[in-house]
Amino acid sequence: MRISVFGLGYVGCVSAACLAASGHEVVGVDVNPVKVDLISRGKAPVVEERIGELTAEVVASGALRATTDVAEAIGATDISLICVGTPSAQNGSLSTVYLERVAEEIGQALTAKNGRHTIVFRSTMLPGTCLDLLVPILEKASGYRAGADFGVAVNPEFLREGTSVRDFFDPPKTVIGEFDAASGDAVAALYEGLPGEVFRVPIAVAEMTKYADNAFHGLKISFANEIGAICQALGLDSHRVMDVFLADSKLNISKAYLRPGFAFGGSCLPKDLRGLVYAARRADVSVPLLSHVLPSNEDHLRRAFDLVTAAGSRKVGLLGLSFKPGTDDLRESPLVELAERLLGKGYDLRIYDANVTLSRLMGANREYIDGRLPHLGDLLTNSVEEVLAHADVCVVGCKDPAVLSALDNAGDRTIIDLVRLPDAETRRAHPGYVGLGW
């Protein structure tokens, strides 16, 4: 199939490369010329397992190219995947400005299009957004009717940063919210041959599915972290408790998030929890459990901050900064929040993250860090050894091999472990080591 992918962030870049690797002809579209240039040179604009090699392969084969020209992309393809961001507003509501903009541009481009074109929204959006907001924009800008002159569908993604390429080819499920059967058929053809059950549902059901998933993921992480906090207070190893809990595959589910660790973050879980709680409040629905997931996550971040302040030194090293290992995504990273709080309290901080290079950060990722840690370039170091040379207290927020190796020579420095190091059980017996929840 001939496919255009709008928005070359994590979801768009991975979707474009994986679809191209599956034999489709793909055009990536983005307003940021830097991202387009990177793709054109066979380089991925994001840090992600396997995405660099895959992008190089599909660009070299001619299966993937990129442009900033919306009309050209629409004219050259038959189906468009919309993967632009839907960030949170201050009150938790969803910002649809990028969706509205791309819908209008695509609608205008459809006026010069011969034949049916299908627009597929993969961006996370609350129920009603597609039918009540985006379809009217498409119809007004094009002068055509959805379902008759062009197709519309919602196809939420279930890609985890760090493993998104694997997740694309081995999805837990495929959800297709279809305006009409022909639109659903076009989307189903994209994923033909992939494992997992396919659900063809009304558009609003597809929109809500993503929120249900992410709310539950956030809930699981917060549950595990609260169990960890209780276990630590009682002198127990929370991971041993959760080993028993997770062994029960009959009644207890999903090992993916039920491991005590640091607070959750990223571009999805916090935003989608805020959006869901906001929508519930607007509908006058009480959601006491969901409305307290983010405060619980905030309390867990505070526990880490309190461990640093209790260590008694102002010279702190932070090993890890992105919200999740294997990516450079800093958006709503709890490690960024921790760094910001430490700087605000006057701590002398140095940071190392093998995946974070200031010159490579772009788009929403760059905007976020410019607003939260505008002097990041002064804080980043080139090696773990530079951090150790500076710090009396080392906060470990990743399991990068270079970090694990260097920590063997950490000496008498205080080690605050947010990720449960592989030798955590041995380290617990030594003074100067503190685990978060174990």
pLDDT, tens digit (0-9, with 9 covering 90-100), for 148-198: 999 999 999 999 988 999 999 999 999 999 999 999 999 999 999 999 999
DSSP string, 294-349: HHHHHHHHHHHHHHHHHH--SEEEEE--SSSTT----TT-HHHHHHHHHHHTT-EE
DSSP string, 105-128: HHHHHHTT--S-EEEEE-S---TT
> Cβ-count burial of 338 within 10 angstroms (0-12 exposed, 13-18 middle, 19+ buried)?
buried
**388-407 pLDDT, tens digit each:** 999 999 999 999 999 999 99
Who has greater pLDDT, 320 or 325?
A: 320
Who has greater pLDDT, 23 or 233?
A: 23
**Is a pLDDT exceeding 80 seen at residue 221?**
yes
185 is in an annotated binding site: no
What are the Cα distances from residue 254, in Å, to 217, 261, 351? 9, 16, 32
- Note the pLDDT of residue 165: 96
- Note the pLDDT of residue 216: 92
Q: What is the domain partition of the chain in residue ranges? A: 2-203, 296-435
Residue 243: band (very low, low, confident or very high) from pLDDT cuts 50, 70, 90 = very high
CA 20 to CA 165: how far, in whole Å?
12
220 is in an annotated binding site: no
Q: Give CATH for domain 2-203.
A: 3.40.50.720
Q: Does domain 296-435 have CATH number 3.40.50.720?
A: yes
What are the Cα distances from residue 113, in Å, to 82, 107, 130? 18, 10, 22
CA 96 to CA 411: how far, in whole Å?
51
271 is in an annotated binding site: yes
- Note the pLDDT of residue 96: 96
Average pLDDT over residues 26-48: 96
- Note the pLDDT of residue 257: 84
345 is in an annotated binding site: no
28 in Cβ contact with 15 (< 8 Å): no
**Is a pLDDT exceeding 80 seen at residue 253?**
no
Residue 206: band (very low, low, confident or very high) from pLDDT cuts 50, 70, 90 = very high
- Note the pLDDT of residue 82: 98
86 is in an annotated binding site: yes
CA 281 to CA 254: how far, in whole Å?
29
Residue 254: band (very low, low, confident or very high) from pLDDT cuts 50, 70, 90 = confident
> Cβ-count burial of 223 within 10 angstroms (0-12 exposed, 13-18 middle, 19+ buried)?
middle
124 is in an annotated binding site: yes
10 is in an annotated binding site: yes
Rg of the chain over CA atoms, in angstroms? Answer: 23
- Note the pLDDT of residue 409: 87
First-to-last CA distance in the chain?
A: 51
Helical ranges in 135-199 per DSSP H: 135-142, 164-169, 181-190
- Note the pLDDT of residue 410: 87
114 is in an annotated binding site: no
262 is in an annotated binding site: yes
- Looking at the chain, the whole-number percentage of residues with pLDDT higher than 90 is 83
Average pLDDT over residues 12-32: 97
30 is in an annotated binding site: yes
Average pLDDT over residues 419-426: 94
2 phi and psi angles, rounded to 5 deg: -100, 115
> Of 362, 410, 384, 315, whose CA–CA distance to 43 is shortest?
362
**Is a pLDDT exceeding 80 seen at residue 413?**
yes
**Is a pLDDT exceeding 80 seen at residue 222?**
yes
344 is in an annotated binding site: no
Please enumerate in sequence order all residues whose Cβ is within 8 A of that of 301, keeping only pairs 6 or more positions apart, or say none.
262, 263, 334, 337, 338
CA 270 to CA 334: how far, in whole Å?
11
174 in Cβ contact with 156 (< 8 Å): no
**Is a pLDDT exceeding 90 seen at residue 326?**
no
**pTM beyond 0.95:** no
- The rounded mean pLDDT for the chain is 94
- Note the pLDDT of residue 37: 97
Active-site residue set: 268
> Of 374, 373, 395, whose CA–CA distance to 384 is shortest?
395
Range name among 129-138, 280-289, 342-351 with the lowest pLDDT average? 280-289
214 is in an annotated binding site: yes
Average pLDDT over residues 44-73: 96
**275-303 pLDDT, tens digit each:** 989 989 988 989 888 899 999 999 999 99
- Note the pLDDT of residue 325: 85
- Note the pLDDT of residue 359: 85
Q: Do domains 2-203 and 296-435 have the same CATH topology?
A: yes
Q: Give the sheet arrangement for strand 393-396, strand by strand.
A: 348-352, 315-319, 393-396, 414-417, 433-435
